[in-house]
Amino acid sequence: MPKRRFGPHKFSFSQSHSAKLSYGYNSRMNVGKSGYRVFSANSTTACTELAKRITERLGVELGKSVVYQEANRETRVDVKESVRGQDIFIIQTIPRDVNTAIMELLIMAYALKTSCAQNIIGVIPYFPYSKQCKMRKRGSIVCKLLASMLAKAGLTHIITMDLHQKEIQGFFTFPVDNLRASPFLIQYIQEEIPDYRNAVIVAKSPSAAKRAQSFAERLRLGLAVMHGEPQCSESDMADGRNSPPAVRTSTGPPGLELPLMMAKEKPPITVVGDVGGRIAIIVVVVTNTVPHEVQKLQCPKIKTVDVSMILAEAIRRIHNGESMAYLFRNIAVDD
């Protein structure tokens, strides 16, 4: 009985099947790459402008939604387009009314979740309640509570900038990308301050010395620290064991009397470092991640630096599944 020859037929089938698989894979990739939307979580000028700058850089339109307050101050969110199966990015800046901004973000995230969005990523450049990240007297770690609320509302990822403490990222059960604004601020100093090489970076308090030192080292400048300015040191209230009454009381067993800690007294304001004849740079340069229109009217020295470029690139890379390492080039642990 002659042997059957399957060679040509087998090759033909494999080639055709491979072509179909390749076509199907490319089709799915093309659909996925276009399946994202960018929404603004409120209608304030700062948030709207930042969202428009980001969408212009991405080459997409801003998502259609309405965020408003009812007569009784309840927040209502209406999403005006389909988001099913898409990656959704919510831009939210934090105005003075912090709690309203948080509710806007939570309600919009939950609305998108119930509308079957695939992933919901919050773009929150300034993360609220980040200074309440340690136990303080008989209070609570509010930042951890907010992280849990965002996860419950449906967020699956967060993009933020310059967290007050990097350890805050451990409060979340989903990924957090903590971007840095320092490259933009350093670039502003180099380009906008004449003779900046004759300057000195000034830390307004000892707690700001680490960040100021990073700026000084990158700009190859000297460093000065102001000491004695009234401030509330976080190190004094880190573990919640600093709240005994100022008056000595006898609440323990008879004869047990703990030593009384001496009260702190702020010294006169002094400057540690050489600033004579130099340009003293105390960062008054802020990014467009928080509303500060009123402050700019009150102080003409405040300058605004646009960081929409790095936020837009982070959105693009997250949606396409690309590495974020490029956005952290030359970023040290202390930055």
Query: Which CATH number goes with the domain that contains 122?
Result: 3.40.50.2020
Residue 68 lies in a domain: yes
Q: How many beta carbons lie within 10 A of that of residue 42, not counting itself?
A: 23
Same domain for 84 and 168, yes or no, is: yes
Residue 238 lies in a domain: no
Closest CA to 218 of 253, 186, 185: 186
Task: Tell me which residue range forms the domain holding 85.
Answer: 37-179+305-326
Contact criterion met (CB below 8 Å) for 237 and 137: yes
Residue 188 lies in a domain: yes
Residue 9 lies in a domain: no
Same domain for 96 and 124, yes or no, is: yes
Same domain for 171 and 198, yes or no, is: no
Same domain for 43 and 156, yes or no, is: yes
Same domain for 91 and 190, yes or no, is: no
DSSP code of residue 135: B
Residue 247: strand, helix, or coil: coil
Residue 18 lies in a domain: no
- Round to whole Å and give the CA distance between 135 and 165: 14
Same domain for 153 and 216, yes or no, is: no
Same domain for 52 and 173, yes or no, is: yes
Supply the pLDDT for residue 21. Answer: 32
Same domain for 173 and 316, yes or no, is: yes
Sign, Cα dihedral of 178, 47, 305, 203: negative
Structure tokens at 218: 């990158």
Supply the pLDDT for residue 334. Answer: 65
Residue 54 lies in a domain: yes
Q: Please, what are the averages of pLDDT over each run of 10 residues along the chain (335 residues)?
A: 44 37 34 72 85 94 92 92 94 88 94 94 92 83 92 95 87 92 88 87 83 87 78 48 48 68 70 79 79 80 88 94 88 70
Which segments of the chain does DSSP mark as H helices, in order? 7-33, 45-58, 98-114, 142-153, 182-192, 209-219, 293-298, 308-320
Buried b (16+ CB within 10 A) or exposed e, 152-170: ebbbbbbbbbbbbeeebee
Residue 100 lies in a domain: yes
pTM across the whole model: 0.75
Supply the pLDDT for residue 230. Answer: 53
Count up the domains in the chain and report the number.
2
Residue 222 lies in a domain: yes
